[in-house]
Amino acid sequence: MPAMGFYTDTSVCIGCKACQVACHQWNDLPAELAEQPAPDGSQPGKPRPLTGNSYDNTGSLSDVNWRHVKFIEKSRLPDGRVSYRPTDAGRDGLEWLMMSDVCKHCVNAPCLEVCPTGAIIRTEFDSVYIQEPVCNGCRACVAACPFGVIHMGGTANQGKGTAKKCTLCYDRLQHGLVPACAQACPTASIQFGPIDELRQRAEQRLQQLHAQGITNARLYGHDDTILGGLNAFYLLLDEPEVYGLPSNPKLPSRSVPSTSLWSLASAILMGLAGIVSFRKRRMDRFATETRADEEVAQ
């Protein structure tokens, strides 16, 4: 089975959020409410207040939002600087950068590396899947993911919940179906297929955009430089950080050698300090005893 995944071309995303809705619908994910409905159904619950941030009222990925369409408002300020904040005064030349964010199904996945129970596995499609019944709610994966994808949800593990995120529609793939989000996207911004094929398609699209003078276009996560490759990679129209994507995310194990060296150096210094202190105490005691002997002799 070849590695399967997503190529998301943000240059054709129209921000319709069909992908987000399809994900909710297929995975039976509830709405994110400010207040939950009464258990007996007498009160409907309260919707979340609007964020006031462009047309994005979801805010971020969460335990119930496994896809999130970002709206980034890019404009020029009167002094010529570029603004990405809808609240800046005097903005002109507004353009929206839209991006449907999701789990990146990293080839070297930090979440999978740190999970102590083996709840996070790699599937036959090369996707990263959380087996919720095996999750003990420790949150190690939440801290390890450099993209802020994983969130805890539900009431299992004495209320700590279990880790939740996009499954790459594992249940649909097992039956030969395309993931619900890709199926719903009306502009083919989200394309699903074998990763090798998607990479070729993305390279061609990049060349086409560059030939049209859109020199800001770039690919993110299409090769092995970011965590061995992202099985959900992107064509972006600005720096990755503008979209909230880190340029150079690290695997937790990459920081182990430097951390170990610092620990070793600290241990050596502590040992040396102990020897010096011990010698000093012995010298002080010897001097005191010598003085006492001299006083007795006098």
Where does this chain bind ligand SF4 (CB under 6 A)? Answer: 13-19, 22-23, 26-27, 66-67, 69, 98, 100, 102, 166-169, 179-181, 184-185, 187, 189-190
For ligand SF4, give the closer residue by CB, 180 or 245.
180
The nearest distance, CB 231 to ligand SF4, in angstroms, is 11
The nearest distance, CB 242 to ligand SF4, in angstroms, is 17
The nearest distance, CB 89 to ligand SF4, in angstroms, is 29
Cβ count near 31 (within 10 Å): 10
For ligand SF4, give the closer residue by CB, 183 or 216.
183
Structure tokens at 269: 């210094």
The nearest distance, CB 12 to ligand SF4, in angstroms, is 7
The nearest distance, CB 35 to ligand SF4, in angstroms, is 25
Contact between residue 1 and residue 231 where contact means Cβ atoms under 8 Å apart: no
Q: What φ, ψ does residue 250 adopt, rounded to 5°?
A: -115, 150
For ligand SF4, give the closer residue by CB, 114 or 169.
169
For ligand SF4, give the closer residue by CB, 66 or 233.
66
For ligand SF4, give the closer residue by CB, 133 or 257.
133
- Residue with structure tokens 């009464």? 38
The nearest distance, CB 4 to ligand SF4, in angstroms, is 10
Start-end of H helices in the chain: 18-27, 110-114, 140-144, 170-173, 180-184, 195-211, 256-297
Query: For residue 258, what are the contacts with CB-CB under 8 A and spacing of at least 6?
Result: none
Distance from CA of residue 26 to its chain's centroid?
22
How does DSSP classify residue 190? E
For ligand SF4, give the closer residue by CB, 161 or 179.
179
Question: Which residues partner with 46 through β-bridges?
Answer: 35
